[in-house]
Chains A and B, each alone.
Chain A
Amino acid sequence: MDSDRAQSDPAAVAAPLVAVEALTRRYRMGPQTVHALEGVTVAIHRGEFVAVMGPSGSGKSTFMNLLGCLDRPDAGQYRLNGREVAGLSSDALAALRNRSIGFVFQSFNLLPRQTALANVALPMVYAAVGHGQREERALAALEAVGLRGRAGHRPTQLSGGQQQRVAIARALVNEPLLLLADEPTGALDTATSIEIMALFQRLNRRGITIVLVTHEPEVARFAGRVLHFRDGCLTADLVQAPEAAA
């Protein structure tokens, strides 16, 4: 299973981390078919910081769910780290989400009765990491988001920004190939949003590939590349000089 992450095959290293071709997803809503995503082709390389933008209904969330292996495409191909995802079993997809992808959500989704440390350790429960190792790795992840001192706090004892940083630590704890953030600043005030974006930039500089969905241009300006979606199609793919958040 660790081969997902530690592929040393030179061809795989040269290939983009995310290679999407003609990706299509349709939903049936009553008699209508909604074209949530129509033939999207894009490649994302290691170390990129990509913002995905678009109005609601543009397909950006569908795109995100497909990248995160939470959903399956109706047509097209998705290679993650050179590996075709389409044919994988539901258990194999769960393993892929566990080891190769880290999720950050708008509403944090922390377990309210667990400490920050236990929340961060949760993905390791499903990765067969020994109990002894879990605490050490969870503390290291909290350290990376600057919250080592709050390991024993419950989410209700933390501010919104701190909660989101715990969630980011949880996303990082299994050292994923790809960090997916869905409106991570949507529930935060401007100053805290900028702090979170600064954290993403720091992590990105350390080599973590980030794909971030947002509808706010002020957030997208911190990314190095912006994908614009509209009506299920990719309408623009712009490389930009990211603004420094801190």
Chain B
Amino acid sequence: MTALDALRAALDSLRANPLRSALTMLGIVIGVAAVIAMVAVGAGARDQVLRQIASLGTNLILVGQGSIARGGVKLGAGTASSLTEDDALAVLAEIPDVMVTAPSVRWGLQIVAGNQNWGTVLFGITPDYMDARDWTVEAGRGLSDDDVAQANKVVVLGRTVVRSLFGGGDPIGQPVRVFSTPLTVVGVLGEKGQNTQGQDQDDVIFVPLSTAKRNIPGMAKSNPRFIHSMVVKMRDGSDMAEAQAQLRDLLRQRHRLITDQDDDFWMRDLSEVSATRDASSRALSFLLAAVAAVSLLVGGIGIMNIMLVSVTERTREIGLRLAIGARRRDILIQFLIESTTLSLIGAAVGVVLGIATAAGVAALAGWPTLIRLDSVVLAVAVSGVVGVFFGLYPARRAARLNPIEALRHE
């Protein structure tokens, strides 16, 4: 019996009971569709998270000014004013693998343009900051070293701020005001969208660090060199944990902290965020795969059930085939091909349904989905294995029938 003969016999037998075949396939159809759709949703979500994290930069360490403790009372983040521009210079000079340090100050305020005003966050920065956080300039120019050196009264606006103050108009060259300081808009930042916490990253304005300190009331305080935070950008592939340890040692030493004193700064490594996000989406994918595996298992049991019924119903046919010269192997292969055909047709329908479901989820719920070829291949392969595995017992039962008794079967 050739494979073609066996396939033809299998299709013929499946056509004999179309409704029964369709219902039997349903388990596999749902299982495969679930694998593909769920993996697509999981992969889409993961892909989005990874892209957001990549937009933050994974080789960055954020260092911020911490709390000071007075008599055991901790006064909260930012109460210390120990972090300085000199710390940033020292970090760049003394820690290997540091590419850039970008000191900054930040202040929440109102920005006014003509008769419009908008509450936003001002960052006083150096040009390195834009580089470290991967900011691009969409129109006009970014801040230059010259702007910082001369404390030029210029500002670069985020997209959201531009939309709020100027609507569709061109902001370049326009005057704006923060507190009582007039600034000239020299550039517009490229759009970054939301961050992983859902905050609008484009609701910012950038001014030179020196300009911020000189013109914002109360900013310079007692220490004109103070900063709120700095971004430390490491060379790609650096050991982030090692870099953090070195940073901590250096800053503690510069701030003259004694052994059992708490840090007066905080430190955050964005690769930690990315690892956590990655792990949670991986766990989600695993859970979905487990659900899909269970439904494939149930589908397989359905196939076994129907194949056992089929073997019983076709006992005389099996007897006849044995009498006219089928070897036991021929009968075994015929029934195995039948169960595998059943599961593979189910898998094919499931692939179509799964892709359609993923597309539907993307369209209706607005979730990002990503059809992964490996999930399609895996689901189809597992269905084939399910067909063979759960078809094996019924097929062996058919092949072991005694032809004399099988021919007499009513």
> Contact mask B371-410 → A, CB, 8 Å, 1/0?
0000000000000000000000000000000011001000
B93 located at the interface, meaning its Cβ lies under 8 Å from any Cβ of chain A in the complex: no
Mark contacts of B307-343 with chain A using CB atoms, 8 A cut-off: 1 yes-contact digit, 0 otherwise: 0000000001101111111111110000000000000
Is B5 among interface residues, defined by CB-CB distance under 8 A? yes
Q: Are A70 and B404 in contact (CB under 8 A)?
A: yes
A109-132 to B contact mask, C-beta < 8 Å, 1/0: 101011000000011011110010
The residues of A that contact B19 with a CB separation of less than 8 Å are none
- In contact, B404 and A65 (Cβ under 8 angstroms): yes
Nearest-CB residue, chain A, relative to B325: A98
Residue of A70, A97, A126 near B330 (CB, 8 A) is: A126
Interface with B: A10-18, A87-95, A147-155, which one? A87-95
Q: Which residue of B lies closest to A121 (CB)?
A: B5
Q: Is the interface of B mostly helix, strand, loop or mixed?
A: helix
The digit string for B348-385, where 1 denotes a CB below 8 A from any CB of A, is: 00000000000000000000000000000000000000
Kindly state whether residue A99 has any CB partner on chain B within 8 Å: yes
Which residues from 1 to 51 on chain B have a C-beta closer than 8 Å to any C-beta of chain A?
1-2, 4-5, 12, 16
Q: How many A-B residue pairs have CB under 8 A?
A: 61
- Nearest CB of chain A from residue B400's CB, rounded to whole Å: 11
Chain A interface residue count, CB cutoff 8 Å, equals 27
Whether B403 lies near A70 (C-beta < 8 A) is yes
Minimum CB–CB distance for A64 against chain B, Å: 10
Mark interface residues in A181-214 (1 if CB within 8 Å of B CB, else 0).
Answer: 0000000000000000000000000000000000
Residue among B317, B327, B328, B404 with most chain A CB within 10 A: B327
Q: Which chain A residue has the least Cβ–Cβ distance from B327?
A: A94
The complex places the Cα of A131 from the Cα of B319 at a distance, in Å, of 24
Central interface residue in A107, A125, A131, A174, by most chain B CB within 10 Å: A125
Contact indicator A126/B323 (Cβ below 8 Å):
no
Contact residues in A for B1 (Cβ distance below 8 Å)? 125-126
Q: Is residue A71 within 8 Å, beta carbon to beta carbon, of the partner chain?
A: yes
- Inter-chain contact B323/A97, CB cutoff 8 Å: yes
Q: Is A228's CB within 8 Å of the partner chain B?
A: no
A109 touches B5 (CB 8 A): no
For A64, give the chain B residue with the smallest CB separation: B404
How far is A94 from B329 in the complex, measured between Cα atoms in Å? 11
**Per a CB cutoff under 8 Å, which of A70, A125, A128, A174 touches B323?**
A70
| The one of B12, B320, B322, B404 that contacts A94, using a Cβ cutoff of 8 Å | B322
Q: How far is the CB of A195 from chain B (nearest CB, A)?
A: 23
Contact partner of A170 (CB less than 8 A), chosen from B5, B316, B317, B324, is: B324
Contacts of A90 in B (CB 8 A): 327-328
Complex CA distance for A95 and B1, rounded to whole angstroms: 12
Q: In the complex, what residues of A have CB within 8 A of residue B325's CB? A: 94-95, 97-99, 123, 126-127, 174
A65, A109, A127, A174: residue with the most chain B Cβ atoms closer than 10 Å: A109
The answer to whether B12 touches A113 (Cβ under 8 A) is yes
- Interface mask (B78-97 → A, CB under 8 Å = 1, otherwise 0): 00000000000000000000
Please indicate the chain B residues that have their CB under 8 angstroms from the CB of A78 in the complex. Answer: none
Q: How far is the CA of A20 from the CA of B323 in the complex (A)?
A: 20
B328 touches A71 (CB 8 A): no
A125-B1, A125-B5 known; A98 and B324 CB under 8 Å? yes
Task: Please indicate the chain B residues that have their CB under 8 angstroms from the CB of A107 in the complex.
Answer: 316
Q: A105 within 8 Å of B by Cβ? A: yes
What are 26 A-to-B residue pairs whose CB atoms are below 8 Å?
A: A68-B323, A70-B323, A70-B403, A70-B404, A71-B404, A90-B328, A91-B327, A94-B322, A94-B325, A97-B324, A97-B325, A98-B325, A105-B320, A105-B407, A109-B317, A109-B319, A109-B320, A111-B317, A111-B320, A114-B12, A123-B325, A125-B2, A127-B325, A131-B4, A170-B324, A174-B325
